[in-house]
Structure 1
Amino acid sequence: MIDLKSLLKDRFDAIASRILLVLNQLDDQQVNWRPNEASNSITNLIVHMNGNINDRIGKGMNNKPYTRNRDDEFESQVKSKQELIEMTETMFGEVTSTLISMTPEQLSELQQTGSRAQTNIEIFIQSVTHFSEHMGQILYIAKILKDDAYISTTVPKKSTR
């Protein structure tokens, strides 16, 4: 039988790893670059993911106080590469530690997300999909910025031996 928690943890770990590999290829100016006013920078995307985690997992599952202003996550802002690395490590650390520590009963608990109720496991599944989408945007921005100097972030598959 598939262990859903381990599978999700592996996906979250792979997303975090690939984002960190990209961040380590870029400088402070590049992580804040926006192709145009209607588009996001890598900073915006990571700040947005952090807001999502703080809201749904920190507040929703771990009862941490948090007030989110989602629109502010997409405003022009400047963060250092190091701040984004630390934010990425912290937010994915909270996601995976929360996921692994949850009992089946806790995974089945409902929380209100927007206008609908979702179980915590549904939130984890939705989050891994959501973060994969934003990781793709981050990788694409990095490829645009680095051109031929871009180093692939593909995470090697685990050995089955």
Structure 2
Amino acid sequence: MNIGSEYLKTVIQRFMDAKVTAEKALEQLTESELFWAPNEESNSVAIIVKHMSGNMVSRWTDFLTTDGEKAYRNRDDEFVGDIQTKEQMMELWEFGWDTFFNALKSIEDEQLLKIITIRNEPHSVMEAIERQMYHYSYHIGQIIYVAKILKSGDWKALTIPRKK
């Protein structure tokens, strides 16, 4: 068994699991609930999705040869609520994840220790992957928490329901 191949296989599966879990929460929300935020300093689910997609596209497009913070990315714009529909939001969601998964699947074992840059800071490819595991899990947790609050008694458990 090759440790690099095993790591890549495992991490891709964990990211797929995280994506599916988030989608189970997203499916429970109405279109209007996707755009709800508790206050002006908080993000709606749609804005979190927009930010995650922007991050994925910036970080993982040509990640071996260009900095992960692309010149065309305007991170602040990711926090502007200009998405109009659930369909638009889901298109961004899929585009971001497709970009990310295509990049992960292109990595060769020997590239895991290659140094790449994110915001002009050096990271091994493995470190960049783990950085994203933290970042995406953080935001998926936010999505789920907001969805649970909004659905309250109508919430359908994403994993094993309590007392089951």
Question: Under TM normalisation by the shorter chain, which class is it?
Answer: 0.7 to 0.9
TM-score, scaled relative to structure 2: 0.83
Change (3 A) 1:95 1:17: same
Match among 25, 36, 39 for residue 39 of structure 2: 36
Q: What is the aligned partner in structure 1 of residue 86 from structure 2?
A: 81
Long gaps (5+) in structure 1:
156-161
Q: Which amino acid aligns with 1:44?
A: I
Is 1:26 matched with 2:29? yes
Is 1:130 matched with 2:138? no
The Cα RMSD (Å) is: 2.2
Offset at residue 24 of structure 1 (A): 1.2
1:65-102 Cα deviation digits (max 9, x unpaired): 76111111122333421222232223222222321221
1:35-58 Cα deviation digits (max 9, x unpaired): 100000111111111111111101
Offset at residue 9 of structure 1 (A): 0.6
Maintained 8 Å contact 2:65/2:116 = no
Question: C-alpha distance in 2, partners of 1:92/1:9?
Answer: 11
Question: C-alpha distance in 1, partners of 2:90/2:159?
Answer: 18
Maintained 8 Å contact 1:28/1:79 = no
Secondary structure of the corresponding residue to residue 56 of structure 1: helix
Maintained 8 Å contact 2:46/2:89 = yes
1:88-134 Cα deviation digits (max 9, x unpaired): 22322222232122112333322221241112221111101110010
Is 1:150 matched with 2:152? no
Q: Which amino acid aligns with 1:119?
A: S
Matches within 5 A, 1:1-161: 3-61=6-64, 67-154=72-159
Aligned length: 155
Offset at residue 13 of structure 1 (A): 0.3
Question: C-alpha distance in 1, partners of 2:14/2:72?
Answer: 27
Question: C-alpha distance in 1, partners of 2:38/2:14?
Answer: 28
Long gaps (5+) in structure 2:
none
Maintained 8 Å contact 2:57/2:99 = no
Percent identity of paired positions between Structure 1 and Structure 2: 31
Secondary structure of the corresponding residue to residue 35 of structure 1: coil
Change (3 A) 1:109 1:43: same
Question: C-alpha distance in 2, partners of 1:138/1:62?
Answer: 32
Question: C-alpha distance in 1, partners of 2:47/2:129?
Answer: 21
Question: C-alpha distance in 2, partners of 1:62/1:18?
Answer: 32
